[in-house]
Amino acid sequence: MSVVKINVLTVPADKRDLLEERFGARAGLVEGAEGFEHFELLRPVDGTDEYFVYTRWRSEEDYQNWFSGTMRQGHQGGDGEQRKPAATGAQLRAFEVVQSAAPKNA
């Protein structure tokens, strides 16, 4: 059963471009992880300051392995130092996929 992790990031308006730029620059860091299934960065359009970072994983173990390894690399600058975050807050929410649907093939 797949698991979904949604990181809710509070991002001030003046940091949105920076956040999106950083996620664009990290392309490829999660896609090759064992058990990775899907990623989306969701920009708010309803007047809030919360971005959603959606990832889906084959298992909790696969997520934890990525989190303990490659994820940490993506949150460091080019010199290995921790960068100042674009977000002012973050909450991680976790779910199990119990039902799913996809478009029917035409």
Q: Which two tokens stand for residue 23?
A: 């996620």
Q: Note the pLDDT of residue 6.
A: 98
Does the pLDDT at position 79 exceed 80? no
Does the pLDDT at position 71 exceed 90? no
- Average pLDDT score, the chain: 88
Q: Cα–Cα distance between 63 and 54 in angstroms, integer?
A: 12
Q: Cα–Cα distance between 20 and 5 in angstroms, integer?
A: 19
